[in-house]
Structure 1
């Protein structure tokens, strides 16, 4: 199989079923996928593996996706990596708050395969 990899996506999600689903959609579409179960693990993996795009949940134990987003956007090594927040919080205020933390796109759950791919393509450099 000679599929060209389109880039590396780090998925930060503490619900395994969601993580599996997103990984499946993205791998099938030609992306290389790295998984992190929480924000702290994500911070380590971002520095080690320098993904092209980060997709993060908001509600996670320890550190929220909003806080993760803020940390990444204020760190010189990671500030340029596009972040897609993927959350079940679907109020406009949540979306605005996510963008204020530095997110490049905000996707609400449940999402379709097309929606997640469109969100990633919209922010990928």
Structure 2
């Protein structure tokens, strides 16, 4: 029995082991995965490949996940794409700031496979 693909997810993280872990969870969940090692690469890939959901880390060199989120939500081609922030920044103020930047969900690391799949299902339209 083959899995039906449930959509394409862009994962943005400068930590390759995190990127690999999230990719693994999502592929097991039936999603197509695109990886970007940093926000600048993500901005290019999001316009080229039009993912259904974006998962981004916050702390990255060059441009933070918060700034990436803000840019995507103010661009007409990407403003409707749901964004899940996935960060080790676990303070309530970080979560509130992430939501203020336009994030649709905020997960803190470490997370389980179930938590990440649930977050995606919650934001996917």
Spell out structure 1 runs of 4+ moving beyond 2 A.
none
- Equivalenced residues, count: 125
CA–CA distance in structure 1, aligned partners of residues 88 and 97 of structure 2: 14
Deviation of 1:3 after TM superposition, in Å, equals 1.3
Q: Give TM-score, length-normalised by structure 1.
A: 0.99
Please list the CA deviations of residues 19-56 of structure 1 after superposition, one character each: whole Å capped at 9, or x if unmatched: 00000000011000000000000000000000000000
Could you say which residue in structure 1 is the equivalent of 2:59?
Answer: 59
- Structure 1's unaligned 5+ residue stretches are none
Deviation of 1:106 after TM superposition, in Å, equals 0.1
CA–CA distance in structure 1, aligned partners of residues 91 and 3 of structure 2: 38
Q: Give TM-score, length-normalised by structure 2.
A: 0.99
Question: What does 1:68-107 align with in structure 2 at a 5 Å threshold?
Answer: 68-107=68-107
Deviation of 1:104 after TM superposition, in Å, equals 0.1
